[in-house]
Amino acid sequence: MHQAKEVQYNASMPTRVGHFNLLAPIYDRVIMTPDPGRLKEAAALPVEGKLLDAGGGTGRIAKLLKGCANHIVLADASPQMLSQARSLELEGTTCYTQALPFPDGTFQRIITVDAYHHLSHQEESLREFCRVLAPGGRLVIEEPDIRQFSVKVLALMEKLALMQSHFVSAEKMADSLEKMGARVQIERERYNVWVIADKPES
């Protein structure tokens, strides 16, 4: 069995993590919260088992999903963001998504909302999501749709702010996940896109 990778987490964090440490106290007041109903539909919630909110930050999404799984865990690289989540009595694990500290097949559902473009190792993170997702489980990645002009402007603004964001198309994510053995569908609505990947039972 493939074991969880070990990752050394220390004060010499990437620049993007430093940005989110600074934003943590005000993040929930300045960032719009997506429609929880749409997310629940995409993730086929509620579900029996565990749910991972990857890049879950302050817990703004996880708190809307309480009761939708037996257990919800947040994973984020920013200690300050997770301290906000813990103040809401949410469980948080400080880690990088490319090296998740969980055994194979731990989660029935994995969500990552408006976070994928902030991940420093996107392909490695997808592999980790597939590893810790249980057979028959579902991964949902909700992102701004980079095909839209307004999202291209947002991407430029984040680049100018030195946030090191990297927006990719839903098709590129889907292609990578399909190569990893997942069944993938893409859904779009206005400025958002959902990449929905189901892991086969066996």
13 vs 17, which has greater pLDDT?
17
Say whether pLDDT at 20 is over 50.
no
Residue 152: pLDDT band with limits 50, 70, 90: confident
- Residue 81, pLDDT score: 84
Q: Is the pLDDT of residue 25 over 60?
A: no
The whole-number pLDDT of residue 8 equals 39
pLDDT value of residue 29: 44
Q: How confident is the model at residue 26 (pLDDT cuts 50, 70, 90)?
A: very low
Q: Residue 112's beta-bridge partner residues?
A: 141
Look over the chain and give the mean of its residue pLDDT values, rounded to a whole number: 84
Identify the structural domains of the chain with CATH numbers, from first to last: 15-198 (3.40.50.150)
Local confidence band at 160 (pLDDT 50, 70, 90 cut-offs): low
Residue 122 pLDDT more than 70? Answer: yes
Q: Is the pLDDT of residue 3 over 70?
A: no
For 125-143, what is the mean pLDDT? 98
Which tops the pLDDT comparison, 6 or 35?
A: 35
What would the mean pLDDT of 16-32 be, rounded to a whole number? 46
User: What distance in Å separates the CA atoms of residue 154 and residue 161, rounded to the nearest whole number?
Assistant: 10
User: Using omega within 30 degrees of 0 as the cis cutoff, is the peptide bond preceding 46 cis?
Assistant: yes
User: Quick one: pLDDT at residue 73?
Assistant: 97
Helix (H, G, I), strand (E, B) or coil at 2: coil
User: Which contacts (CB < 8 Å, 24+ apart) does range 159-163 have?
Assistant: 161/19, 162/15, 162/19, 163/15, 163/16, 163/19, 163/118
Pairing between strand 133-144 and 192-198? antiparallel
Q: Per-residue pLDDT averaged across 50-54, rounded? A: 98
Length of the chain: 202
Q: How confident is the model at residue 74 (pLDDT cuts 50, 70, 90)?
A: very high
